[in-house]
Amino acid sequence: MSEKSPQHYWKANLRIIWICMSIWALVSYGFGIILRPLLAGIRIGGTDLGFWFAQQGSILTFIVLIFYYTWYMNRLDREYDVDEQ
């Protein structure tokens, strides 16, 4: 099996998907819901950090993850010679 096989490409794709989804779950559910009482003492923008993550932090993290995933997949596509350019 070659180093640049479709199976390796697919495994790399699934790995980055799982990493991005784990980060998003940690930020939205972990920081916004589960760990909110622990983050209540930290103030940001006039409210506690747990509330900030629940209202804005998870959305901003999701947007950053979208841009990161796009950048990473373009690089991966070029590496495995499956890009559209």
Whether 6 is covered by a domain: the verdict is no
Whether 21 is covered by a domain: the verdict is yes
62 closest CA partner among 14, 36, 29: 29
Whether 3 is covered by a domain: the verdict is no
The 10s digit of each residue's pLDDT in 19-75 is 999 999 998 888 888 888 888 888 888 888 888 888 888 899 999 999 999 999 999
What is the number of domains present in the chain? Answer: 1
Q: How far apart are CA 12 and CA 25, in angstroms?
A: 20
Domain enclosing residue 49, as ranges: 11-79
Give residue 85's pLDDT: 67
Radius of gyration of the chain (CA): 17
